[in-house]
Structure 1
Amino acid sequence: MKTYNYRDLTPQQIEVLCLRQLEDDQVVRERVREITERVRNEGDKALLDYARQFDQVLLNRLYLDAEELAAIAAGIPDEARLAIDTAYENIRSFHAAQIHLDAEVETMPGVNCWRENRPIDKVGMYIPGGSAVLPSTFLMLGVPAQLAGCKEIVVCSPPQKDGKTNCYVAYAAQKLGVARVYLIGGAQAVAAMAYGTESVPKVYKIFGPGNRYVTQAKQLVQSAAGTAIDMPAGPSEVLVLADETCVPAFVAADLLAQAEHGADSQAILVATSDALVEQVMQELEVQLQALPRRDVAAKAIENSYAVVVADLEQGMAFSNAYAPEHLILATNSFEDLVPLVQNAGSVFLGNLTPESAGDYASGTNHTLPTSGFARAYSGVSLDSFVKKITFQRIDPEGLQQIGRTVEVLAEAEGLEAHKNAMSIRMKNV
């Protein structure tokens, strides 16, 4: 992990430092375009072939039904079942609190306006796989969709080597009332949900994190198929801002928790002294040796870096420029820093709040903007699964109150029919 000193960096160098690695984007883009077009044209045939090619699995059918999911879920260990139950309840409690009705507003006498929520009827969820299938992502997406009242939930996740999913995902499906899980991974899953196939229903919006292929596919179908997406979400990342009140062992653990996601994950340390960076580095070396995924984590750490800042305020300036997916404020002074947070997906306060709490069970959503998109995007919430439709009602008094304003503005824009739509009503009431 290379170390930089903030005082030595120009604004241009900071901007470059905050860029994520994008060297292979053109290669990825072309490969994703090829995959999505083939799925669009060949449907299930292409999906079955990609399962054989990418997942090394020969599938007879592209999905598991309710009966198969129930049989798989029956094998879940009791402790894991209770953990999923707890996470489900916490996630549900947090997202249920986001349900609210907007008040009706009388903008002027006789003119009433308000908004109402309507669920997105058909949503698709990508649950990442790779070396392990992630039930936590299933809960993070399924719970708000369930609360929002989405009528059709299409779930895609890569098959395991046995052509199934694991007991954790199967049990999560039962908790969420999802009766079918499609055994499809990568860009081909996104394409299947965007265009629809013989087996996979077409959806209106696609959710879920993934690798660069998944991210590129989501962005491509957003423009090519007119399918909405939650956000561009690429390799995961964390920025830990630490001062002398942190616990170096905790900081190292947080960096490694991020690094084990993949070699392209970023684990950034921003510290108030060189000595603190050195302490964390020592802890990293010790903890790394005990990790089953140490080779992956070591590559991610090698591709990451540390920045030494003069104080926490300067550290926050760098953090806001980087716009991390996860921001950990490893300091006793975290309350003073909260107002300074401008760009971050999710924030973890103090020495006792690890990112993994939010990843699994505290209740907040872990589907968050990466690659600097936290400057403009929010993480997934209940609002992500609904449309907010405005309504308005004008009575006779309101017509007289607002009528001339509308006529004048329509005249100014040269839109006579717009003016007439108001004038004809004013004359006949």
Structure 2
Amino acid sequence: MITRIDLRGRSLSARELVEALPRAESGVEDATHRVAPIIEAVRSRGADALREYAERFDGVRPEHLRVPAAAIDEALRTLDPRVRAGLEEAIRRVRLVHAAQRPQDFTVQVAPGAQVRQRWVPVGRVGLYAPGGLAVYPSSVVMNVVAAQEAGVPGLALASPPQRENQGLPHPTILAACALLGVDEVYAAGGAQAVAMFAYGAAGTEPQDGAVLCEPVDVVTGPGNVYVAAAKRLVRGVVGIDSEAGPTEIAILADGSADPGHVAVDLISQAEHDPSAAAVLVTPSVELAAAVESRLVDLVPSTKHAQRVAQALAGPQSAVVLVDDLEHGLRVVDAYGAEHLEIQAQDAAALADRVRSAGAIFVGPWSPVSLGDYMAGSNHVLPTGGCAHFSSGLGVHSYVKAVQVIEYDRDALEELADKIVAVADDEDLPAHGEAVRARFL
């Protein structure tokens, strides 16, 4: 059901270690060829192209590309009270954590009469994407919207695929989550076409669309399939993006003290996302590895999405990795750079503090990834495919930019004038120096 990779006794370079570990193929490069015409069509034909692609990919031609306010209100009115309570608690906890993420402005007095200030300024408008393919993710609405709101972004728009079962509107729970968060600009648009709409804006073509259906945004964020990732790659530079999210992944670093049942169900919980999802156990305990493998055999057939889970666990992106000890295991998980890393071992907190590359780290047996997916307060939009080596998960920082403000008086500039001229002349940019000298003639 799941492959074993034995790294015990092997001294591998960083490159060799990365090559030895399982990893899903993202397919983003190939997908860009299919996505490029979609982006151009939406850019040039606006709402007409959005409706055509919805009909082709989602099986429905939306009458309303912008979701009417009445539909958003009705979705909240009919929301299961238990789901509403869960979403409200998620919003509360995520807001608490993200409020603490706001970066602070600062002022540095470099010298008398010379100061540099740094201001953190939210972007003006963001486009947030909530998937609606194999599963529907109101939790992704919470993660995207709360982070943007806590950053102070004044303009928020959200898109999610239209559904045949909902008369061409996004899933009702997605709409209800928008209502709970006060988001009223919501679009029935999915995939690459939604990313294109956000990046370039879209003209309306039906009376209900208005002359301009959607204005362009500054930043596009949110998880999605390979076509969403490819679209983000193609519009990057026109707009900012959070990341090119690939298939979801979990890595678990565990020793012999871990409960094999907990490990098995946590691997299954991520594998149910997608047949390409990655589930990796890293352990020095052969006994734990065998027990987890046995539990998977028992548990997978009885889970709701058994076929999807079995395909993910059997794929080349998933494995049980045997290591010499926990020190070796730390090097392995750091090389892997998992989207989600669980540590179920003795001294788990101390081990977690030594990890350099992971989207989010879940410490101990009572902090499963599922907690972070919904209500831990952390954000579940995280770097995949090893991108945790150089990038962070979604947060307030995704929606703000640093602006430096420089203010020198006459004496402070005069003190530096000769030095500025010397460096400018050395770079063969004499007009730079003249711009300073001219002030003292």
Q: Give the TM-score range, shorter chain.
A: over 0.9
Q: Aligned partners of 1:287, 1:165: CA distance in 2, in Å?
A: 33
Q: Aligned partners of 1:132, 1:318: CA distance in 2, in Å?
A: 31
Name the residue aligned to 1:2: 3
Equivalent of 1:170 in 138, 161, 175 = 175
Could you tell me whether the CA contact under 8 Å between 2:27 and 2:226 is conserved in 1? Answer: no
Name the residue aligned to 1:277: 289
Q: Aligned partners of 1:52, 1:318: CA distance in 2, in Å?
A: 45
Q: Aligned partners of 2:263, 2:350: CA distance in 1, in Å?
A: 20
Q: CA deviation at 1:151?
A: 2.1
Q: Does 1:339 align with 2:350?
A: no
Q: Aligned partners of 1:24, 1:80: CA distance in 2, in Å?
A: 35
Name the residue aligned to 2:207: none
Any gaps of 5 or more consecutive residues in structure 2?
A: 204-212
Name the residue aligned to 1:50: 53
Name the residue aligned to 1:62: 65
Q: Aligned partners of 2:319, 2:415: CA distance in 1, in Å?
A: 62
3-state SS of paired residue (1:206): strand
Q: Aligned partners of 1:73, 1:373: CA distance in 2, in Å?
A: 36
Equivalent residue runs for 1:285-304 within 5 Å: 285-303=297-315, 304=318
Could you tell me whether the CA contact under 8 Å between 1:154 and 1:201 is conserved in 2? Answer: no
Which amino acid is 1:324 matched to?
A
What are the superposed Cα offsets for residues 94-113 of structure 1, whole Å, 9 maximum, x if unpaired? Answer: 01012243221112222111
Which amino acid is 1:275 matched to?
E
Which amino acid is 1:94 matched to?
V
3-state SS of paired residue (1:281): helix
Compared CA separation, residues 320 and 106, structure 1 to 2 (3 A): same
Q: Aligned partners of 2:236, 2:283: CA distance in 1, in Å?
A: 39
Name the residue aligned to 1:193: 198
Equivalent of 1:72 in 71, 75, 87 = 75
Could you tell me whether the CA contact under 8 Å between 2:119 and 2:402 is conserved in 1? Answer: yes
Which amino acid is 1:104 matched to?
T
Q: CA deviation at 1:352?
A: 0.9
Q: What TM-score do the two structures reach when normalised by structure 1?
A: 0.95
Could you tell me whether the CA contact under 8 Å between 2:282 and 2:329 is conserved in 1? Answer: yes
Q: CA deviation at 1:63?
A: 2.1
Equivalent of 2:228 in 209, 214, 218 = 214
Q: Aligned partners of 2:418, 2:260: CA distance in 1, in Å?
A: 67
Which amino acid is 1:330 matched to?
Q
Equivalent of 1:89 in 83, 87, 92 = 92
RMSD of aligned Cα (Å): 1.7
Equivalent of 2:375 in 325, 343, 361 = 361
Equivalent residue runs for 1:6-45 within 5 Å: 6-7=7-8, 10-11=12-13, 13-18=16-21, 20-22=23-25, 24-45=27-48
Name the residue aligned to 2:337: 323
Q: Aligned partners of 1:8, 1:189: CA distance in 2, in Å?
A: 49
Could you tell me whether the CA contact under 8 Å between 1:243 and 1:271 is conserved in 2? Answer: yes
Equivalent of 1:247 in 259, 276, 281 = 259
Which amino acid is 1:415 matched to?
L
Q: CA deviation at 1:244?
A: 1.0
Compared CA separation, residues 114 and 321, structure 1 to 2 (3 A): same
3-state SS of paired residue (1:63): coil
What are the superposed Cα offsets for residues 240-282 of structure 1, whole Å, 9 maximum, x if unpaired? Answer: 0000111111111111111001001101110112211111111
Any gaps of 5 or more consecutive residues in structure 1?
A: none
Q: Does 1:184 align with 2:189?
A: yes
Could you tell me whether the CA contact under 8 Å between 1:109 and 1:401 is conserved in 2? Answer: no
What are the superposed Cα offsets for residues 201-260 of structure 1, whole Å, 9 maximum, x if unpaired? Answer: 21111001111111111001115xx22111121111111000011111111111111100
What are the superposed Cα offsets for residues 86-128 of structure 1, whole Å, 9 maximum, x if unpaired? Answer: 1101100001012243221112222111111211111111101
Could you tell me whether the CA contact under 8 Å between 1:74 and 1:167 is conserved in 2? Answer: no
Q: What TM-score do the two structures reach when normalised by structure 2?
A: 0.92
Q: CA deviation at 1:174?
A: 1.7
Q: Aligned partners of 2:22, 2:284: CA distance in 1, in Å?
A: 22
